Structure formats: structure tokens, C-alpha cells
Homo-oligomer: A and B are copies of this chain.
Amino acid sequence: MKKTEQITIHDLARALEIDSSTVSRALNDSPRVSAKTKKRILDKANELGYQRNSLASNLRTNKTNTIGVIVPRISRNFFSNVISGIEETAYQAGYNVVICQSLESLDREKKIMNSLLSNRVDGILISTSMETENMDHLKPYLNNVGPIVFYDRPCDFENCSSISINDYKASFEATEHLIANGCKHIVYFSGPQTVSLYRNRKQGYIDALKKHDIEFNEAYCFESMLSEDNGIESAKKVLKLPVVDGVYSANDTAAIGAMQYFKSKGVKVPDDIAVVGFNNDPISGVIEPSLTTINQPDFEMGKIASSVLLQQIKNKDINRKKQSAVLDIELIKRNSSKKM
């Protein structure tokens, strides 16, 4: 199966004895070419198996019709749902989407930015990695190429929009839910405090305790990267604490790890320990139908982020003002605690 020569608009032009510029116009459905010649050209294109070369077209127009999405991990249910939302909106608007995962590594994130930059994607949607503390590696793209919109993990750049959820409120309510069910000794699995989202969630937890006159205890707060393994380690520590009647995890991945460990040790969840976790995984209902989770508007977030970005791409440089959205969450109460 040997590569045949690529057909170009010039080949079509020669075959029809017209000029390539006419072919180009026809292929782009320009109104400035007669229906008759248009049909001739399209037919010939089909006949010869013409395939447009986007590289050339993009180079010429300085536009790729593609947006880049940087995501920490596609395997996390929350993110794969966001991606589906992004794709839906983007495809509808005629844009392609390239998905890149940073795996929470700053180094990978930098390399990805470089690649998206040199490939001149029209805009970027990003949820920065947990290692990312400053945003310098985003500037070359932002200054020279196109807009960047942050989703889930916001950023306070001038001229950059962020779409996030109301983490503070969600966290506050989750904690209050445990308290309402009689929990007083609530362990909290926290994420890196470099990430604003995790700062907000921790604050929500602390403030909810305070409101109900429960003292915040540093020993009940474990900070980690919230991987599944981290969840398992944290669970071990939980079992060594004197009294624990509630666990609240700042994400689902760590919560799942912890559940796994609890089960392996015969700790009944949530009969012995009530658990709440940020969660978008339908699987949670399988793990423990009575587990209380926080339903994040993932798909919707993707759609909004995508449409904000596309808007900014359309508006070119004018009008690229910060227009951040904060989405509300929904606490799915599943009667998690034994005390209900």
C-alpha cells in the first residue's frame, strides 16, 4: 500500500483548466464563484480524492480552528466529563479540540504549552497541575497567540477568565451535613494549599466547624496530593486516631483509596465512620449507596468554559475582559451517617 501523491488545488485547477484561486474559493464555498463551476470543482475533487491540507490553510490564515485543553488527568471522572462538555460546544462551533494531560506535572505542563504554542492553537483551556505555583510559562502564549481560560482551578490573571465552582460553599455544606448527622470528630483530607480551590475547601471545613463550636484540630487534617495511594495512607492514620466519627475528603480519588483500606480492615463505612467526598463518579453509588457526595457541574463547566473561550477567540484582542463564572454545587445527601 504505497503512498500516492497528494492532490492539491493546483491539480484540480489543471484538470479543469481553470485557476487554482477559483478552486480555493469553491472549496471554501465562497459566494463569488458560480454554482456551476463550484459543482464541477467539487465533483473533480471527489473524483481525484482531493484532501485539504489544513497545515497550509492554517499557515496562510493564521488560524487553526483548534483549541487546546490541558487537563491534569483524563481518567478522573470529573475531568472526562468536563472534556465532553468542552467538546460538545467546540464541535458545534466548528472547532477541533486537542486534549493534553499534564499528569499533575509542571514539567509536562510546560512542554504541552510549548507544543500548543508552536502549533498555534486558537485558544487554550487549562486546569493547572498541582505543582504549578506561578504562571510564567503561560505568558508567551497569552501575549503572542491567543486567550487562555481557566476551569476548575482558577487564576487571578488580568484578562483571563476562570470558570470554577463555589468550593467554599460546597465544603461548608458538606461539613455541616456531617455535623448535622452527629459527627463531632471529623477528619479532613486536604489537597495542596498552593491550589486555591483546596484552600477554599479547607476554609469551608474550618468555618463550618467554627459555626458549630467544634474546635479545629490540626491533627485531624491530612494534607496530600489526594491520589488513591494518599487516601490509603491517610486512612491508616485515621484508624490510629482516638476518636473519629466522620471523614471528609477534598476529592473523590483519595476518598476511594480510603474506602478501599477501610473495607480491607473490616471497618464498616459508613456505619462506623461517615464519609463525604467531592465526587462526580457514578460509581460512587456502587461503592456505597449511602455515601454522601458533592455533585459538581462538570459537563456544564466544560460547556461554559468552552463557550467563553470561543467568544474571546472571536473577539480577537478587543474586549478580552475577565468574565469569571462561579458555578454552584449540589450536595447529594445519601443519609450517610448512622446517626440519622
**Segment at the B interface, from A47-55, A185-193, A198-206, A208-216:** A47-55
Give CA–CA (A281, B285) in the complex, Å. Answer: 15
- Contact residue among B53, B87, B283 (Cβ-Cβ distance under 8 Å from A120): B53
Give CA–CA (A58, B119) in the complex, Å. Answer: 10
A333 at the interface (CB under 8 A from B): no
Interface residues of A toward B: which range?
35 or more
Chain B residues with CB under 8 A of A281: 283
Chain B residues with CB under 8 A of A53: 59, 118, 120
Is there contact, CB below 8 Å, between B286 and A1?
no
Is there contact, CB below 8 Å, between A1 and B145?
no
Chain B residues with CB under 8 A of A295: none
Chain B residues with CB under 8 A of A6: 144
> Nearest Cβ distance between residue A242 and chain B, in whole angstroms?
26
A300 at the interface (CB under 8 A from B): no
Is there contact, CB below 8 Å, between A1 and B158?
yes
A264 at the interface (CB under 8 A from B): yes
Is there contact, CB below 8 Å, between B64 and A144?
no
Is there contact, CB below 8 Å, between B96 and A99?
no
Chain B residues with CB under 8 A of A195: none
Give CA–CA (A143, B81) in the complex, Å. Answer: 35
Prevailing SS type, chain A contact patch:
mixed
> Nearest Cβ distance between residue A4 and chain B, in whole angstroms?
6
* Count of chain copies: 2
On whether A320 and B263 interact (CB within 8 A), knowing A144-B51, A228-B282, the answer reads no
Chain B residues with CB under 8 A of A115: 54, 96
Is there contact, CB below 8 Å, between A1 and B143?
yes
- Return the CB mask of A314-333 against B: 1 if under 8 Å, else 0: 00110010000000000000
Give CA–CA (A97, B100) in the complex, Å. Answer: 8
Chain B residues with CB under 8 A of A74: 74-75, 80, 83, 99
Which residues A110-169 have CB closer than 8 A to chain B? 115, 117-120, 140, 142-146, 158-159
Chain A positions near chain B (C-beta within 8 angstroms): 1-4, 6, 49, 51-56, 58-59, 64, 73-75, 77, 80-81, 83-84, 87, 96-101, 103, 115, 117-120, 140, 142-146, 158-159, 228, 256, 259-260, 263-264, 281-283, 285-287, 289, 316-317, 320
- Complex A-B: 13 CB contacts under 8 Å: A1-B317, A51-B140, A54-B119, A55-B55, A55-B119, A74-B74, A74-B99, A75-B80, A83-B101, A96-B119, A98-B99, A256-B286, A260-B285
